[in-house]
Structure 1
């Protein structure tokens, strides 16, 4: 079997790319190693930038998002028992964000793909991507007990940090840049209405806390915890007490408690591979870069990658010009490093490093106070959080 674009990975990046390619008249196949139920239940990001929402709408995947997604025009910063709201539209020319879980994005894209899209094969375990330097790279995979080979004009690896597509790059071709952080996040889902209308990012001497939501009835909350922490170390009552302490603010605000339905620990790291292309193999999303979740960039960076890539394939299909494909890595990396820097800034400004001194803590408070008092500093945060236009 031969196809123009073989897509490894049926997460949001691979599925969105397939939808965009279909609209451009470019044939493709999506290979996903897990079954459909697993793909639709992977808990990941929940914040969508304006550009991501625009792309989902453009490929027909915006109907349920527009009906059920929660539009947010800002975030609240809490520090030194004070609160300050950052208003996105007034600082960004009207841009905003949406709360709509990645699981729901994937469900919408899978339904569209199976209804009228390119082939989407579940439980198709990719074993290797070969021939990146040739004009017909090959994807070797196992499907329904049979070893199969798919030759392609191009391969796009959307299969994540531990995926196979990265191994198609020969040794010495890629440079790796990474940073690990001395703390993790404990995340919970709780069956209780959110205690806020917009996300709360809290700086505290006890550590960082984040109040988010999945729906008007389900809250998503996070606590900074030491690396190596286990969910079992944190009984529900201890979690709620710690959240109360970290969100504390002067005034009558109260955190609503409810049954905890899920609990997990998320390590924090930054990671970038350069370049994002070798020969006819391209990487997108977590296969090429990881950001700490503090800036809500992971899913949105993946979407930006495949939007750029879909435009490049459309140009090739329409005119025969490969100029945008040749520029893909450089184009995406400019955005990737901006997002890496913003995510690093949010992470190091809001978290308490176990080794930090009182001087370091005062610098953090000074930076947060500047955001609260300077329109220029607030605009810088708002522009990065709501997402820079793709152009």
Structure 2
């Protein structure tokens, strides 16, 4: 890099037989921009067609996060300007999520540190998902007046019981053990050994099967401790089995203990519109037959979000004014009309092509 030249937001390299993709916005927790989405897609295409690449590793620079999701400030600005960038971002991001889910070579995501939203999309759709003692995973969208996307309405319904519903509605973060329990990750490896992971993968023979990569990673892994989702599984399943947010809140109110009380308190701070739409999308996802179906439904909802006051208010409170005090409209789940939720379910035009 020449003096004065901006560093690349995505670093692409080859190490032995491993193709490496490094997200390189550490000060922004490697949050994704449209050029980053395009660079990752281009790199994956190239590695897929390169006979000298046995596996692909995706990691984040810096010690704080793998990827905190999409650059929501940029999405907010695009929505305000009506320039179409937000829609283009989601379309290309969702195509990338689908590509990762069906990638032809072993795809290894190192989910070290903060892994949220779009970061979950870059990792949890992959074949080999590694978490560490520093992992904090979340789908925090209901807290910013948005909804879980990146195929989360396919991933979360496949978690045991109602763990995915809890994750999608509360937006709270979980650690390594619960990420594995929720089937969003596979193995825990100490952060101090991630360099060793890359070194071992770099000497994998060409043509290695996913089972060969599994064996390598398993040898470096450590058993996770029990997490809060496992400890509270019965409570979560009882309270979140309902198909209305009102019923979930009522069920939490009669559960005993700190966990249901805190869960209910958190839900009451989230966008009521987002809660109702997220629950609808999660239930629709449970009945869906493919990731593609969920991504198409999510894109329609995302595009409608560009006209939703809570989307602007949530991002204002979280990243612009940073007062952490959004004023939702409507302000309660009881005031959210069914017709307004249906409005978000309009199919995207043109349809998402995968």
TM-score normalized by structure 2? Answer: 0.26
Please identify which structure carries the higher helix content: 2
Greater Rg by CA: 1
More relative contact order in 1 or in 2 (CA 8 Å, sep 6+)? 1
